[in-house]
Structure 1
Amino acid sequence: MLIGHIKELVRHPVKSLDGEFVQKSKIMDYGLYGDRSHAYLDETKKGNFLTITQFQEMVRYKARFVGEESMDEYPKVEVITPEGNVFDWKDEELIKEMENKSKRKISTKKYTPSLVPIGPIAVEHILLVTDASLDKLEEIWGKEEVDFRRFRPNLFIELKEKKPFVEEEWIGKRIKIGNEVEVQLVGHSERCMIITVNPDNAERDKSLHTALIKERNNNFGVYASVIKTGDIHVNDEIHLLD
């Protein structure tokens, strides 16, 4: 059954930085190629991942791959700062800037194209959000437009039938994306303070999280596990399988 198509396809080369919109992506066993494959570590917290929770302005730093994608090695990763400066993600000047702003000692970590572990980098392979659910949340909140980037999904789906939160009914079922890829919906995405941070200016508004807790039991979007790998593209049809 046709349920919609991919409206936006987003990957985050560096954990907690703003992601890049891509027209196509290879789906690996762990999810989108290169998604959260690089990360900054907070050495003041025994090497835990540095995230928006500790350093809100991370949402204003944008990460992107530059160059040919390979199964042996990732392309170069560039970071664009809020001021528009472009650095290699490991550049000492960039690290120093982020250390000064966050008041933390920062180191780096990266994985390989063949292995990005589930757990420390992400809860599951893929996170998806639908347009109807976003519109309904906007109505529930009643304050301003809700940018879907707050929820950091990989797939932003435009539904054929605009039924809010229908994706929660897919949990336990499989969907097919395009001609090759199949994923199984495995659970709700329980939210944290990160959704309160505006991706454009890094300002916080706790009321969005409060509304989501009250009205949706703190869930928004669903996680999926990869069943069949392959290539997907923006505008690919999505079918719910029997």
Structure 2
Amino acid sequence: MTRARVAALYRYPVKSMLGERLTEAEVSERGLAGDRRFALLDEETGKVASAKNPRLWRALLTCRATLTEAGPRITGPDGTEVHAVSEIVGRPVTLTDTPPPDATLDRSRPEEVLRAGVDAQVEADVVRFGSAAPVGTFFDFAPVHLITTSTLAGIAEVQRYRPNLVLDTGDTEGFVEHDWVGGELRIGDRLVLRVMASTPRCAVPTLAHGDLSRDPEALRVLARHHRVPALPGRTPEPCAGVYAQVLRGGWVREGDVYTVSSAR
């Protein structure tokens, strides 16, 4: 049994763009309110634009999205508001809050990106949105992604891994959340999550994120020190953080106490 506090909260209103740090958020079965609520569709292919295919979409990580009552406000690398994202990514795109039927995205194989570089046309897998993702959302697998301070201490900046929740694990060392898979996480006075799987990392952490320059070590460190099966029966792969689904909704606030009952 572990007991500590929520260190930080983040949401990403537009998929694959930089997001915003929050002090509190309401959480439902669809995740943090407003998180991954929007995405860009490639008008040529109909696929969801994702920085998992760096050659085409890494420029999305130069944009920041914040949520307003009127929808997402997108700012570019110079901090000014962007009204035509197509000009930044170099492809015609449409902003939407509704995934197309059988929505897919391209996920470049991360080892190939490290070997050949972000501009190379490397082999990519066509990925459908995860079975644990609520219908009508743009989550890759599940509606909440969390990571611990213990894991971050051994790899790179938190922005590269795009979590919703950062959990303070004090002086504990190692990738501790991997052992929480199958357990329940209780946060504050109501919120309950079920930890579903470790998070396999793609090429995204290695890319430039806003002011952070490209850093291949953000993936290589995991490949060397935490190559594990994300779920039982899967092939080991570099992992950091875990995915969770919401068993009981509620509010989460920075500084909330959490407890985790590990299943392992």
TM interval, shorter chain, is: 0.7 to 0.9
d(CA) in 2 for partners of 1:209, 1:2: 27
Q: How does 1:188-203 map to 2 (within 5 A)?
A: 188-201=198-211, 203=213
Q: Deviations over 1:168-194 (max 9, x none)?
A: 111110010111100011101001110
Note if 1:123 corresponds to 2:122: no
- AA aligned to 2:153 is D
How many Å apart are 1:132 and its aligned residue?
1.1
Match of 1:57 in 2: 59
Alpha-carbon distance change, 82 to 157 in structure 1, aligned in 2, over 3 angstroms: same
Match of 1:225 in 2: 245
Q: Deviations over 1:85-141 (max 9, x none)?
A: 125xxxxxx22xx323322111121049xx95377432111110111111122xxxx
| Root-mean-square deviation (Å) | 2.2
d(CA) in 2 for partners of 1:179, 1:164: 28
d(CA) in 1 for partners of 2:67, 2:30: 18
Deviation larger for 102-111 or 27-36: 102-111
Match of 1:105 in 2: 92
Alpha-carbon distance change, 107 to 201 in structure 1, aligned in 2, over 3 angstroms: same
| Structure 2 unaligned residues grouped into runs of 5+ | 100-132, 228-237
| Structure 1 unaligned residues grouped into runs of 5+ | 68-74, 88-93, 138-145
Corresponding residue SS for 2:154: helix
| Contact in 1 for aligned 2:185/2:259 (Cα 8 Å) | yes
Q: How does 1:51-200 map to 2 (within 5 A)?
A: 51-52=50-51, 53=54, 54-67=56-69, 75-87=70-82, 94-95=83-84, 98-111=85-98, 117=135, 120-137=138-155, 146-200=156-210
Match of 1:214 in 2: 224
Please state which structure has a larger fraction of its residues in helix: 1
Match of 1:143 in 2: none
Identical aligned pairs, as a percentage? 24
| Contact in 2 for aligned 1:13/1:64 (Cα 8 Å) | yes
Match of 2:103 in 1: none
Match of 1:17 in 2: 17
d(CA) in 1 for partners of 2:225, 2:261: 29
TM-score (norm 1): 0.82
Corresponding residue SS for 2:168: strand
d(CA) in 1 for partners of 2:136, 2:201: 18
TM-score (norm 2): 0.75
d(CA) in 1 for partners of 2:6, 2:253: 7
d(CA) in 2 for partners of 1:111, 1:200: 26
d(CA) in 2 for partners of 1:233, 1:101: 34
